[in-house]
Amino acid sequence: MTLEYGPQHDQVDPFDITVSRIAQDTAGQAHDAAYLHPVLRHWRDGQLVAVHHMAENLENEWDRPHAHLEPLRAFFRAQTGSLTVTGA
């Protein structure tokens, strides 16, 4: 797991409401978000198997059920088949 900025992050002010950008907490478009967000990568035998971008959040709090926790649980389930994730 790493914290990463998205493409062209240095060209986007996340606090500028006049600029068109991916809305924070938009799970379905998290891979296109410019602001800092967690990225999880699943490796197996040295091969990248899957990548999951968590939706950005301007307060850097990735604990919203619909935007963060449910997609994260779905990623873990898809990769492990049974892992239960608990938390906020």
pLDDT(17) > 90? no
pLDDT(21) > 70? no
Q: In what order do the strands lie in the sheet with 2-4?
A: 2-4, 37-44, 47-53
Spatial CB neighbours of 38, under 8 Å, sequence gap ≥ 6: 1, 2, 3, 4, 53, 54, 62
CA count, 13 A, side-chain hemisphere, 70: 8
pLDDT at 27: 86
Confidence of residue 20 (pLDDT cuts 50, 70, 90): low
CA gyration radius for the chain? 14
List, for residues 26-78, the tens digit of each pLDDT value: 888 888 888 889 999 999 999 999 999 999 888 899 999 999 999 999 999 99
pLDDT at 82: 64
